[in-house]
Chain A
């Protein structure tokens, strides 16, 4: 049975699209037929990060409006045979999405794919709502700072109350925490929240920690998902994330911490 996974965060700029690109690539590298959908209609970025922006002819809105078939709009990834990209429209806005259209596309994709990764836009408006509504699992991307954690908390609340699984009274959406742009040095200096601090607030299982790295910016600019980088912490971290998602028991790397910021802030005991 195909799984729908939403990559979401609430806050912008925390690494949703970077994660969508690397996570879907990682799933595909393991032999899973995977499609990644850009829900950020009007501000499409996924095609840039995946390096396929010059091959975009049709997009998700064309498919929803019935102008082209899904097959015509899907773009095959240049790095992985099992990976396809469904780009967002640059010229439309989020109102062009509707639940029936999205439901139809997902149903059709479920026939031929193992994993459907939905890259959510920031915010809690209709675009983000469409991306999360049909999710079976959610990767909540959070930076180690208070406002990002707060926004993730809000998204988790919406997932628990307004997703299809919540509305129809099914088993709740499975939630995973992914902490990105993590810098243990700054955590130790008390400038950032620690993973423990974040988990203490959000209370969902930790899927992985992606270290802060300049290579992410380079990868984005060159149109190569970070997971393909050689000798990179970030690539290793994303591979661990995919491994854990597939059920492997891997030790948590790139986390070295002492008592965190929040603990000091609240005084502890």
Chain B
């Protein structure tokens, strides 16, 4: 009856990442200026993961020894985590050097090449990672039409599974799992019963058991019930129990549940 305690969770997150815009393919020049810049603030980059932004050198198509650059950066306390942008060849070379591929952030702040400026620019942007989870497609909008198509590791769209429909009461001790899809229950779900779905859960009857939607981490999963009397509600691992009883405005009534950030919101279905 007890839920297994998960050993890990896969979740998407939006984290600020430092980007190092590479403006030249001249390794000697790059190293020299980087060293100079880092000398000013020796501890500033301690173990900070850095994304190498390659859009400025993408058109040139010239190669860069990413392994050498990463090793050089590490010496100075910068940790090269992966590359953003760049041509297909550049990205492939980066992968060979053991770097990751960030999906492109929307194009912005691409500095103009200026001989008088230092060729390296470091600034913080919000980098939106692409989730690699069932229920999401991996296609991000291309923002650099000049680039040739990139050899991206796009998660294949999982096969669409039929919705599981249960038309008999789900009783205490029973557990129903709709793997990879949605779950619809047309009969009562009693206390001590468990509904689990990788997608959404719908219950068109009193719901007194546990409902666990987005069981594999789909934060967009939702729960809809006709009579909210649940013991536990969970979406993508974020759960709520009702020791103090279910909130007055939804108790015993039609309700919908979704995730907003890390907060589980339970709202009346009708206003």
Contact = CB atoms under 8 A, between A and B. Distances in A.
A157 B194 CA distance: 12
Q: From DSSP, what is the main secondary structure of chain A's interface residues?
A: helix
B169 A267 contact: no
B133 interface: no
Given A201-B190, A203-B188, A150 B172 contact: yes
A156 interface: yes
B9 interface: no
A132 B172 CA distance: 18
Given A153-B173, A157-B170, 8 more contacts: A153-B172, A157-B169, A160-B171, A161-B174, A201-B190, A266-B251, A266-B252, A267-B252
A165 interface: no
Contacts of A201: 188, 190, 208
Chain A CB count within 10 A is highest, among B170, B187, B190, B248, for: B190
B229 interface: yes
22 contacts: A150-B191, A150-B192, A153-B173, A153-B191, A153-B192, A154-B171, A154-B173, A156-B169, A157-B169, A157-B172, A157-B174, A157-B193, A160-B169, A160-B171, A203-B169, A203-B187, A266-B229, A266-B251, A267-B245, A267-B251, A267-B252, A269-B252
Interface in B178-227: 187-188, 190-193, 208
Interface of B: 168-174, 187-188, 190-193, 208, 229, 245, 248, 251-252
Interface in A250-269: 266-269
Interface residues of A, number: 14
Contacts of B169: 156-157, 160, 203
A169 to B, nearest CB: 14
Interface of A: 150, 153-154, 156-158, 160-161, 201, 203, 266-269
